[in-house]
């Protein structure tokens, strides 16, 4: 009977020891999984924060482009108004020139009716009047020539302003695209080690091209590179030069 009790006690001790060892291993495994999950949550939070910062920066850049375009459009409208004012001045000057020409013609007809063709040589007062009218006509023609020069300059300035607006818009669009590509980052969302392919969370909608390459990082460690072999709007299939796995970070190799 004592031997039986002794054996029972030993078996109970062995069972409790085995249970304690199992619980310790389980706690260690659970602690490791919790640490890995916390690390993954921290990486995702960091990626989300970087994405929000990039969106804010692009929004600020778009606002700046819009403000500059509005300013150039206002200058262009001001030049158009100036050209219309100069056109009205030229029309008025032409009307004055027509009226003076008609007045000269009436004076010439009146002189010929009263004095004949030879009377014009002795009518000093009429000659002086004709000279004054001719001087006025010359002055108006000079004004028209001056206004035409101003109009040509304004048209040239308008064309130059339009060209500058187009160049500025193209430059700002190119600049925004290059800035967005320079900081472009994504993650590996699928990896097939048997076929040697990986899929990343970036595509042509993010400005990628099929000739682009990625740097692959796991945590802070650079583990290799991958080349895009097929691209869609929001994802791309790549061929890595070293094994990758889901969750690895990819950065555009610029």
Residue 148 CB contacts under 8 Å (≥ 6 apart), including other chains: 90
What was the pLDDT predicted at 120?
A: 47
In this structure, the answer to whether residues 196 and 103 fall within a common structural domain is no
Tens digit of each residue's pLDDT, the chain (254 residues) = 555 565 676 666 666 666 666 666 666 676 776 677 677 666 767 766 766 777 777 777 778 877 877 877 777 788 788 788 888 888 887 888 788 888 877 877 776 666 555 544 555 766 777 788 888 888 888 888 888 888 888 888 888 878 777 777 776 666 666 666 777 899 999 999 888 899 999 998 888 888 899 999 998 999 999 999 999 999 999 999 999 999 999 999 87
What was the pLDDT predicted at 109?
A: 72
Where in the sequence is the domain holding 147, given as residue range(s)? 61-179
Where do the H-state alpha helices sit in the chain? 2-119, 124-182
Distance between CA atoms of residues 105 and 92, nearest Å:
20
CA-to-CA dists, residue 117 to 91, 120, 127, 197, angstroms: 35, 6, 13, 105
Q: Has residue 76 been placed in a domain?
A: yes
Give the number of domains in the chain. 2
In this structure, the answer to whether residues 96 and 151 fall within a common structural domain is yes
In this structure, the answer to whether residues 197 and 139 fall within a common structural domain is no
Distance between CA atoms of residues 66 and 20, nearest Å:
69
Q: Has residue 24 been placed in a domain?
A: no
- Quote the DSSP letter at residue 242: S
Q: Has residue 56 been placed in a domain?
A: no
Q: What is the CATH number of the domain that holds 196?
A: 2.40.10.410
């Amino acid at each position: 009977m004592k031997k039986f009790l002794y054996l029972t006690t030993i078996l109970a001790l062995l069972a409790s020891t085995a249970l304690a060892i199992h619980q310790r291993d389980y706690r260690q495994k659970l602690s490791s999984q919790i640490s890995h999950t916390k690390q993954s949550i921290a990486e995702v939070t960091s990626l989300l924060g970087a994405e929000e910062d990039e969106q804010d920066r692009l929004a600020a850049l778009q606002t700046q482009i819009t403000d500059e375009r509005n300013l150039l459009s206002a200058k262009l409208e001001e030049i158009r108004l100036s050209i219309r004012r100069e056109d009205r001045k030229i029309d008025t000057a032409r009307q004055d020139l027509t009226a003076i020409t008609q007045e000269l013609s009436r004076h010439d007809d009146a002189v010929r009716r009263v004095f004949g063709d030879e009377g014009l040589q002795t009518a000093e007062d009429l000659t002086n009047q004709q000279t004054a009218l001719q001087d006025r006509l010359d002055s108006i023609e000079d004004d028209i020539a001056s206004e035409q020069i101003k109009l040509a300059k304004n048209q040239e300035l308008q064309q130059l302003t339009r060209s500058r607006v187009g160049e500025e818009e193209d430059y700002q669009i190119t600049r925004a695209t290059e800035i967005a590509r320079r900081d472009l980052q994504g993650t590996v969302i699928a990896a097939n080690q048997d076929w040697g392919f990986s899929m990343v969370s970036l595509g042509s909608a993010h400005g990628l091209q099929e000739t682009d390459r990625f740097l692959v990082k796991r945590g802070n460690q650079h583990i290799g590179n991958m080349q895009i072999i097929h691209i869609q709007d929001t994802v791309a299939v790549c061929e890595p030069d070293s094994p990758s796995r889901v969750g690895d970070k990819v950065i555009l190799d610029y």
